[in-house]
Amino acid sequence: MIIIVGVYLYSRAYTAIPEGMTPKDTSTSHGTRRSFVKAAAGVSAVGLAGCLGGDDGGDGSRTIGFETMGLGGDPWMGAFTNAAEWYAEDNDINIDVSSGQFDSAKQIQDLRQMIRQDVDGIVISPFEPGALAGVIEEAVDEGIPVFTANSTASTDAVSMFTAFGNANAASSAAELMISRLEDRYGEARGEVLEIVAPQRNPTFVDRHEGFENRIQEEDNVEIIEQIQVEESDQASITNKLSTRLQQGTDFDGLYCPDLNSELGTLAAMENTGTRVERGEDGHIIMTGIDAGPNVLSAIQDGYMDGSVDQPNLFYGPISIKYLVDYLEADDGASALPEIGTEMTVDDLDIQGGTHRGVDPWEEPIWAPATVTEYEAGDATQRYFQTQGVTVTQENADMPYIWGNIMD
């Protein structure tokens, strides 16, 4: 029994990247991965897995700590992280990447380590806004400015928060759903099934509320059922959705709040024979958030109507650019865009080299951005709100979508 409980607690607590591995160990740049592949031909992969390190970037004088929400099994976060590493490398900035493993305690530990290392600044995507506020204030007290990207923490100590916003993305997914229902019925009406991801994660709270709030604005569109998924792994989601879809597809549309739920749903549709192309009888209108490689294929093939994506390849670079400007300015805050302004490509130019055969920042899909005040709990902070991208059959093959670069 003790063993079982131990195994259970361990399997719940453990999130893909072993404790004890250093931040370098958890870096996963694709260059590193290729090195691994070459080496793996002759050497046991086991030994290499724990030994490979990430690239610290260039030899610049600035060292930035970059804390992701987590990497394990999340390609979106992987692309977000890779883009920051590429930008730092291209612009001669040292970057130390750590994975928070989707665990606030791990993120706090990582930030304390960065403070001890005396990095020049920190960019972080907090897992939980409240949990990270204290350690961010500690960093700022030590003279280390903190910028947030993708998600933020509820403290005034954050210098700037960069994101399109999960609620906005969910609202855009709802817009697309409504638009497709109008195409089907000539008016906005229909019944929708919503997949709800774990609500202990504020990202998913926003993605649920953003969708629900926009749908509720329509009198004749109704969310008839919410399927809650707890796990992040596709197999569990596929099982749940298969069970539901097998009972019948007595609804018009289905909303998926993240990449895993999109992929799990697509697999469930295939397994239950309910995956039907757009334009054919029985097609379930499917919209979601996050356009990873396999989702793009499903959109191009017509099985999925569209997915809203955030300009994740820009989040890190924008944050790093302003962080460096902040560090170099006499009065740090003066280097940041003023609240109330609209930022265009003329105001901000994110540049770097070629990665994976393309320039990931060639198309400034973040623009125009608005700079406003963001209320994070009781705190307010400068909010660099980018644009998002609604990916449909028309633009699914565009190289500026991270799923095409990372494929």
Contact residues for another protein (CB under 8 A)?
A: 1, 3-4, 7-8, 10-12, 14, 16-19, 21, 25-26, 28, 32-33, 36-37, 41, 45-46, 48-50, 52, 71-75, 77-78, 198, 225, 227-236, 238-240, 242-244, 246-247, 259-260, 263-264, 266-267, 270-272, 292-294, 297, 406-407
Q: Which is nearer to another protein, 17 or 160 (CB)?
A: 17
The nearest distance, CB 111 to another protein, in angstroms, is 21
According to DSSP, the residues that pair with 255 across neighbouring strands are: 194, 287
Task: Give the three-state DSSP class for 377.
Answer: coil
b vs e for 45-67, b when ≥16 Cβ sit within 10 Å of the residue's Cβ?
eeeeeeebebbbbeebebbbbbb
Task: Tell me the CB-side half-sphere exposure of residue 358, using CA atoms within 13 A.
Answer: 16
Q: Which is nearer to another protein, 214 or 240 (CB)?
A: 240
The nearest distance, CB 1 to another protein, in angstroms, is 6
Integer Cα distance of 150 and 84 in angstroms: 12
Q: Which is nearer to another protein, 37 or 345 (CB)?
A: 37
The nearest distance, CB 203 to another protein, in angstroms, is 17
Instruction: Please name which of 63, 60, 78, 81 lies closest in space to residue 149, comparing C-alpha atoms.
Output: 81
The nearest distance, CB 223 to another protein, in angstroms, is 14
Integer Cα distance of 154 and 146 in angstroms: 12
Residue with tokens 């970037």: 57
Q: Which is nearer to another protein, 17 or 254 (CB)?
A: 17
Integer Cα distance of 188 and 218 in angstroms: 7
The nearest distance, CB 362 to another protein, in angstroms, is 21
The nearest distance, CB 3 to another protein, in angstroms, is 7
Could you give phi then psi for residue 312, rounded to 5 degrees?
-65, -20
By 3-state DSSP, what share of the chain in percent is helix, strand and coil, each rounded to 5? 40, 20, 40
Helix axes 104-117, 129-141, angle to 10 degrees: 10
Q: Which is nearer to another protein, 109 or 271 (CB)?
A: 271
The nearest distance, CB 33 to another protein, in angstroms, is 7
According to DSSP, the residues that pair with 308 across neighbouring strands are: 289, 390
Q: Which is nearer to another protein, 120 or 212 (CB)?
A: 212
Confirm if 174 and 211 have CB atoms less than 8 A apart. yes
Q: Which is nearer to another protein, 4 or 357 (CB)?
A: 4
